[in-house]
Structure 1
Amino acid sequence: MNSLNPFSYLKEDESNDLKKNKGKKKYQKKQYILMIKKQILNQIIYQNQFDASSTINLFIGMQVSRDGVFRHFQTLDNLSFGYNQQQIEKVVEDKHYGLVNIVFEKNSQAPISDLSEAIKFLSSNPNIPFQQIFDLLQKLYYFKEVVQAQIEKLEINQALLSQKEAETQIFLQNFQQILFNYHQTNQFKMYWYSVFRINYQIQNTEIIHTGFSKAYLELLGIDSDTLSQIFLRGKKVDLIRNSIDISLLTLQGLQLLGQSLEGQCSPVVTQIVTFDGFPLTITQQKTYSCLLEIQNEQFKYNDFGYNIVEVDVNTKDLQQLIEYRQRISERCGDIKIEDLIKRELSYLFEDVEYSIKSQNFIEKFYSDNINQLKCIEEEKSQIFKNRRCSYRQVNK
């Protein structure tokens, strides 16, 4: 009977058109997801190119690779993940403070190499200001030798080490209160921190733990689980794509070290790429920096220290990032960015065959992330409005 009905052909044509449109949209969605996944892959693939045996570890958390890339962990910890000299003990999410903490093992530092070997590799890189780095390393090496000489005057025994551990616990309790006070007035701010000390057993500086605010991780496009994958599996990811820029940022960070000790520190502007492939300019500035001073005969040196570094991004750039992720959300459907990145990291980290066509993703994409970034944007707008309101017209 339907064959005698002329409208049945129209309905069949409409049905075919709908199927074609659905198929086209499905294909476009699939292609768009592939594009995003390739961006993520390009961002994290560097970890497969890194050879740990090709690096030289130096004092005070510095590292030089054989191709002349210069790193300082307290400068790069929030931009280069997994390059630390120490072993990771655990990654802890602190929901009360809105932080993800990286806790390092004590006395687990990699063997320290001779400075001359590092100088040889640095001098082979024509793209970095070798003389500036050389002069800086000499100053830091002298500082390290003076501190080590003072430590060697002491009798390093179990009683002294136990005393230093007790002092460390007191210091950490004080820092926790400082962090609590900071968090109370900066809940939506993006920041990271590091806590460090002089370890008398290994006679070198040692990072106790670092932490990243969830707002900062939202900006990068990752969550605590993804960060844990990177650290606990010993993988390495650079958000700075140019190795020359890594060396230059290290140099700048070490040059500003003296400023931070005096309570003054200039902002540092850096070009990065987020985990989902969005180029972004961030500004970093130390807001709190402290080295607790301990008097020892004629020389005064420091056993403990911490840095709290605020991360800022231009409002326009932040809006573009939100729009970028909204477009992904609209085109990809209900897929969550953290799950997307986590899955792609898992393929690489487990060393299984990487399937760029895999489409088995968990629900939601970016929705929570976008909401968090909008909160940051609103906070920045409110601060700007308050500053404008504080200005007063002065009659001439």
Structure 2
Amino acid sequence: MIEIKSEIVCRQSIKPSVPTPSHLKTFKLSLLDQISPPIHSNMNFFYPSDNPDFFHKSKLLQHSISTTLSLFYPLAGRLRDAATIDCNDEGAFFVEAKVNIQLSHFLSQPDLNLMDHFLPTTDPTTMELSNGAMFLVRFTSFTCGGVAICFSLTHKLADVSALHTLVQTWSSLCRGSSNPVTPLLIGENFLAPRDEFYAMSATVNIADEKFVQRRFVFSASKISELKAKVSHEFHEVLQSHPSRVEAVLALLWKCAVATKKQKMGSFGPTTLFQAVNLRKRLSPPLPETAIGNFIWPIMVFAYEEKDLELHEVVIQMRKCLNEFNNTKANMFRGEGAASAIMGAIKERGEFFRSNKEMNVYKCSSWCKVPLYDIDFGWGKPLWVVSVNKLVSNTFALADTQSRDGIEALVTLDEEEMALFQQNEQLLKYATPNPSIYAFCNSNYNCRM
């Protein structure tokens, strides 16, 4: 068990480099943003040492945040209600900190329980002083000169693609680029918010559950084995091949449900929510630089244990995705879009009220999002991770640094996780919490 002592060196607000014009002082969110939870998502980058000048790097980060806020001007404001941002230029919040260990020590035994030492949102004083900031950054130095850049961003204005666009712009400005990626701030022009939701609270109640998060890594060779196990049946039905994500997710869900059965003594019906990026599925499509929540969940069901045979799961996943692409994606366009979305939300709510015994799992995938290309001017990261401290029964998938493996962060009830991480079928394909250096690209200099 690694012991870390962390110390916050300073805290400060960062204003936009250019004040927001008066005609942009109020930003109306889209309906999809409006119904998104007002929580903060986080993204954490760990960089090896290239030079020890931490404070020079900090000044570059602060300056580039200021410039970035002028392009992403709503992020410098504050939530007024569930669908409105007051673009008052109060700014982002920046924290400098240091820890008493070397980066290699931490990455050799990555402990998700220690991530509180790097996240800006886990420090009560920071949260009080930040006064509702929607963008918070904590920049941490290790004793070896390595650094961690960890930021939290409001989910009200950003899904995974939007997070990536933000960090692309921010990092390129930090490197001195004069031609950064420009965001498309579409807001209500995509889909106007609904009046009946304006009274929604700008806070969220998180159930007081005892859950834990664990990391499992699937190497390229193990993913190939897993895909080979289901490819024949998949190809017979769909004349194509399962993806890496489908194969890994099917195994994770199957093992999580087996764990639930172990705990409860019997199998219960279950559903898996998968977040789908709408941008490329709309007609006409939206660019990936569109800022907001352009995601929608698709659901796969298993009413009996036989429905969770791996080949059955991957086939159903693809069928559900194909059905969504062919028949449902365009409900987000046109005059009837808002009514269609409200109807879908109501229908989903009624279904779960009538099926309270249904065990629900949720998945998000960051695979193929090129997060390991993010360079602030001192090289590419050794590890990129987003930790979940809010919701149980989740699977978060991301590429490994070598790009050919998958890192899965699984969040379960404490008792169920104790059983899950001993599941023999899971351990046949997944390595529990290996060293970050074990999955570095052989062409990449993984400096210790």
TM-score, normalised via structure 2 length: 0.24
Larger-gyration structure (1/2): 1
